[in-house]
Each structure stands twice: as C-alpha cells, then as structure tokens.
Chains A and B, each alone.
Chain A
Amino acid sequence: MDFKTKNEAGTLIVSVGGRLDTVTAPEYEKQIRALIDGGNSRFVVDFARLDYISSAGLRGLLVMAKLLNAKDGKVCFANVNGNVRSVFEMSGFNDLFKIENSVSEALATLA
C-alpha cells in the first residue's frame, strides 16, 4: 500500500494505492489516526490507485469513520471502481458511506 496526502482548502485528500488488506490495513489505520490526532477532520479518500481491498481494509475505513464521528469530522470516498467497488457492494459497505465518482465531486459534497 502507498499512502499520499494533499490538503485542498482545509480538506485532506488521501490517495491510497496498491492493496488494503490484512497486512496493510494496520498501517493505514496508524497513518489516519495520526492525521486525525493532528487536527484534520475533513477527508476525501481517493481509491483510484487501489487495486485490492478485503474486509480488513474495510475495517480500517470504518475505524477512520468512527474516529471522525467522535470529532464531528467528515469523510467522503471517491473513485471507488473495479475490484474495490465489487467488495464494497458485496459487504454492503457502499450503503454506509458517502461515495462520489471523483475527488472534485467529493470535495463539493463536503463543502
């Protein structure tokens, strides 16, 4: 997994690439916790570069949402396509989160 961030007008865009699975989900959680503890409360997670996600990855996203809820934060997902979208649909995860087709649409949703 690789993890990149970019701040756009107070919203942090997290671009995650590669695999979000049993092995990499703890690292994802760790980085997200650090960002939230650092005062960030509005996130767009961009899945455009993510090839694979398992339920371990979904749990990492759920932890992120719970941490943000506790701080009145917000998160929106973007570019949930291919394999990742299939897993979201299989697990019912797509009903739990705001999902937009692109980062710009996600930013607009959070605005």
Chain B
Amino acid sequence: MNINATLLGQTITFAVFVWFCMRYIWPPIVNALETRRKTIADGLAAAERGRHEQELAAKRAAETLHEAKVKAAEIIGQAEKRAAQIIDEAKAAAKAEGDRLIAAAQAEIEQEAQRAREQLRAQVAALVVAGAEKVLRREVDAKAHAELLEAIAKEI
C-alpha cells in the first residue's frame, strides 16, 4: 500500500465524475422531482378548491330553494287575499245591484199604484157623475154642476 501517483489519478477521476454528475445527472432528476411535486400540489389544491366550490354551490342551492319556498308561500298568501277581496267585491256589487233592482221595482210599483189610483179616481168620478147623473137626470144639469162634481171627485 504505497502512496503513489494513483493518488493524483483518483483525485482527477473523482473531480471529473463530480463535474459530470453536477452537469448531467443532478439537474434533470431534481427538476423532474420538483415538477412532479408541483403538479401533485396543484392537483391537490385544485381538488380542494373543487370541494370548496361544491360546498358553496350546495349552500347556494339550499338558500335558493328556501327563498323559492318563502316566495311561493307569499304568492299563495297574496292570491288568497286577492280571492277573498274579489269575492267581497262581488258580494258588494251584487248587493248594490239587488238594492237598485228592489228600489226600481218599488218605484215602479209606486208608480203603478199611483196610476191605478188616478184611474180609479177618474173612474169613481165618472161613476159618481154617472150615478149622480142617473139620480139627478131630470133636475140636474151636468153642465151646470160640472164644477161641483169635479170638486167632489177630487175629494174622493
């Protein structure tokens, strides 16, 4: 085990190997490792983001559903109110119309009664005059007493 020029040879060989390793072996492998690490990290981050977004979407969907339910209930409530209102209005209108018809009928009845009374009065007057004429045929002059007869007929 002599120390000899092998020492120098080994040192040079070693230096060349280290240089080669540094130049051609280490960087590609480390780069590949780094790239893969990044790819995996990105993938995991994307998955995490996706899960988060899905959660948000589910929450949003639940909120929307709830809102829709509330709105539907509101609409149904309004519709019911409106229906009740319409019925009330219709009732009021019908009542008014009925009242009007009754009033009209009453007025007509009144009018008819009036007319009947007029007629009756006229006929009674005529009848009275006729009766009186018959009674008084001889002594009463229709023309002379017309004014009187008229007054009597009006009093009836």
A and B part of one assembly: no
